[in-house]
Amino acid sequence: MFTVDASVHVNAASPTEAGATESHTFIDQLHGRPWPVFSPTLLLAEVAAAVARNKNDTAQGVAVAQAVRGLPGQVWVPLDDALVEVAVRLAAELRLRGADAVYAAVVKRYGTTLVTWDRQQLERLRTALPVLTPTEALTRLAKLAKADKRRK
């Protein structure tokens, strides 16, 4: 199971950026599989804001966020008091930015792997939680697909 942060979705929506192909391929493959993807509801606001800023286009920011909301297999995790407590602890212990701590709290609560391009998350979370780049996650998905084929 995975949690995918905004950096991956925004990168996938920006085809000229480095890593966009990997991000897009990972999202397509991930949501084509029969497992849940746990995402904080914060993801939608982050995606809308980043795309709108990057493209200077409000409508495109909203459209990309709506497309993310409609991806199959999404389990939307609201920021409730219990999740806030986990995020606060992780933010302080690992010196994370606030939004990054929310993703980390979702990963911790649901036992998922975070997929991100965010260098700070990759560096600071590797000692505490499972975290991969989209490129690394594509390799993991390929291994899972092979294992599925062998079981059939």
Give a yes or no: residue 21 inside a domain: yes
Domain count, the chain: 1
Residue 114 near residue 107 (C-beta atoms within 8 A): yes
Give a yes or no: residue 104 inside a domain: no
According to the model, what pLDDT value does residue 83 have? 98
Give a yes or no: residue 98 inside a domain: no
SS3 132: strand
pTM: 0.93
Neighbouring residues of 68: CB distance < 8 A, sequence distance ≥ 6: 9, 43, 44, 47, 74
Give a yes or no: residue 87 inside a domain: no
* CA proximity to 78, closest of 51, 47, 44, 34: 44
CA triple 131-136-141, angle to 5 deg: 100
pLDDT reading at 7 higher than 90:
yes
Burial class, 35, CB count within 10 angstroms (exposed 0-12 / middle 13-18 / buried 19+): exposed
The per-residue pLDDT for range 113-129, each reduced to its tens digit, is 999 999 999 999 999 99
Mean pLDDT of 40-59: 96
Give a yes or no: residue 96 inside a domain: no
According to the model, what pLDDT value does residue 33 have? 81
Give a yes or no: residue 128 inside a domain: yes
Q: Specify the CATH number for the domain of residue 36.
A: 3.40.50
pLDDT reading at 149 higher than 90:
no
Q: Which residue range is the domain that position 29 belongs to?
A: 2-77+112-151
| pLDDT level of residue 143 (50, 70, 90 thresholds) | confident
pLDDT reading at 24 higher than 70:
yes
| pLDDT level of residue 63 (50, 70, 90 thresholds) | very high
Q: What are the distances in angstroms from CA 145 to CA 21, 126, 151, 152? A: 20, 24, 10, 11
Give a yes or no: residue 89 inside a domain: no
pLDDT reading at 77 higher than 70:
yes
The radius of gyration of the chain's CA atoms, rounded to the nearest angstrom, is 15
